[in-house]
Structures are given as structure tokens and as C-alpha cells.
Amino acid sequence: MGHPKSVDLGALLAALPPLAALAYGPWGTTLVAGAALILVNSPFTSIHHAPVVRITAFALCVLSVAIAASRARHDAQLVNVRLVAEAAQRGVLRPPPPVIGQLRCGALYRAAQHGTLVGGDLYDVLTTSRGVRAVVADVQGHGISAVGTVAALLGTFREAALDETDLGGIAGRLDRRLGIEADLRGDEPGELFATAVLIEFDQDASRARLISCGHPSPLLIRDGAAEEVSTDHAPPLGLGLTHTARVHTLALRPGDVLLAYTDGVTEARDAQGDFYPLRDRVRHAEPTRLVTAVWKDLSGYTSAIDDDVALLALSPQALPGHRARRPGTGWRRATP
């Protein structure tokens, strides 16, 4: 009976450290490389051309550890860059507080471009001396390319909401800002535009005033039913026509919910090509839960959402012990 043939393990052992460098960090790769070197130099391991294989294995081990260390540093740099980018994007589109003035508030934003937090939609809510003011808007385009315009509009709204005496003045400021942004980009007049709905609440949140500049009408959810708020639609911002905007006044009751949204919601389609029927599917809920429920339902309705989505729900409530902070400075929770 002959002896079984020996298996040459040299090439296999030499290949282990480079493979480890692809999957592990420097410490894990060092352990694998050390184990490979021990086995390569073991008298119990069958290796053809042993001196050459041992030298090659040692070189590969050193190189693999160096590659793993370099990859770990690169990954750490990418994480830092992403954290900075996320902080910057959250600074542009900051989440609103759950209570602002005499309103409960819920908001949700999902960018169409994977891996980004901000795209071409925007919202904001601010306390002013004239009551709570809010905006939901949709800038032409979506994704990273629209973030600069979104940031410019949000900055303008935050100033104008404190300074202007009415919604028409705010709309005019936003319109002018888009004109400036178009000039900076070298666009022709009217190429850069945005739809927007502006909302202003009385101090006691008993009434709301709205202006729509080419934007979908908000929904009023009351007594379990949702209806579109009747508004006159002026042309979008950026066309120099905000003087045609008309203010619509709406009486509110405690528990009503005003839901503003962008067309990324209502233009989503199911497998048959039917648009998402937001008004028919929305259910009354506290604002934070409402926007979460709408997003969950929308995600189940369509297989892919190809546009940015913004939702802002505001509900007047009786809030015992609640005191709004000084205009422009944010909010304060109710004291127990």
C-alpha cells in the first residue's frame, strides 16, 4: 500500500493574509498573518519550494497588515466626512419641536437620493410675534443639486417670518431669493422655481391663514374625515407673480389637524400606475404619529418612491401651563 500524497499548503497559507485584509481591520489581519506564518514555518506542514514560499508569505503578511491599516484609516475618514455632512444637512432642515406655540407639530422628510438627508423639498415652523408661521415647499429638481436652493429659501423664510407683517410679504421675499439664486446659477428667468404653501396661525391657534403658490392644498383632518383646504393657487415662486396670491382664512378647532405635504406623496404610484390617494387613506392621529403613519402607508403602497417627500402636520391643542418662548427663539414644553 502506497503512502498518501502530501498536499502542498504553502500557496493556501500565503493567500490567507491578503484575504483577511479585505474583511478585517489591522489587528484581525495581524492575527491571521501570524497564524499563517506559524503554519508556514511548521515542520508538520508540507510545502514545496519552502524557502521561496516562506519569504513570499512573510512579504504578503507585512503587505496585508499595511493594507488593512490603510483601509481602516480611510474608513474612519469616510465616517467623519459623513457625520459632518449629516450635521450640515440637519442644520439646514432641522426637525421641529413637538409643541410650538399653541400647536402640536409633527414632520417627516425623506430624500429621494439614497444616502442623503436633504433634497429639493423643505419645511419649517417658527414662532413669531404674529403667531406661528410655517412653510412647506418643493424646489425644482431633487437630491444634492437642490440643497443650495433649499438652504437659501429656508434662511430667507426664517428672516421674513419674523420681519414681514403678512404672508404676502414672506412670499415676495422668497420669490426674490429664488431670482437671486437663478442669477447666481446663470439660469434664464423662470427656469428656477418652487411651489410653496405658507401658513400663519393666530396666537391662540383658532384660525389659520394660508397662501398657496402653485403647491398642493393642505388637508384639514377633522372628525375622522380629511378634506382639501380650498385655496386660490398663485403661480409658483420665482416667476415674480406673488402679488397675485390670495390669503385664505380657515377657522380651527382643538383637535383639528392641518397636513401640508409635497407632491412626492400624491404622485407616488402603485403597481397598476394609480396615484397614492392621500385624502382617502389618511386617518386622524396626533401629528407625530400621523406623519409616521402616512409614510408607512405610502411605502407599502408603492414599490419605489422616486421623489423627495415632506410632511408637516400641525394641530391646535389646549395646552395647560404651556408658555411660548420669545418670538423667533423656538419653544418650551408645557410644565407638569
Lowest mean pLDDT among 37-41, 104-108, 233-237, 307-311: 37-41
Q: Is the pLDDT of residue 330 over 60?
A: no
Cα within 13 Å of Cα(81), Cβ side? 8
152-172: average pLDDT: 94
Give residue 81's pLDDT.
60
Vertex 115: Cα angle to 114 and 116 (nearest 5): 95
Of 200, 199, 156, the closest CA to residue 179 belongs to 156
Q: How far is CA 148 from CA 92, 120, 143, 161, 170, in A?
A: 9, 9, 10, 20, 19
**Pairing state of beta strands 121-128 and 207-213?**
unpaired
Question: Which residues have C-beta within 8 Å of that of residue 163, sequence separation ≥ 6?
Answer: 169
| Residue appearing with cell numbers 443650495 | 148
Average pLDDT across the chain, whole number:
82
Which of 113-122, 189-198, 210-219 is most confident? 210-219
- Amino acid code (one letter) for 204: D
Give residue 216's pLDDT.
93
255-265: average pLDDT: 94
Give residue 150's pLDDT.
87
Give residue 10's pLDDT.
61
| Residue appearing with cell numbers 437642490 | 146
Lowest mean pLDDT among 31-45, 121-135, 147-161, 297-311: 31-45
> Between 154 and 68, where is the model more confident?
154
> Per-residue pLDDT tens for 50-68?
676 677 777 777 888 888 8
**Distance in angstroms (rounded) separating the CA atoms of residues 189 and 204:** 41
> Per-residue pLDDT tens for 76-125?
777 766 665 555 556 667 888 999 999 999 999 887 766 666 678 899 99
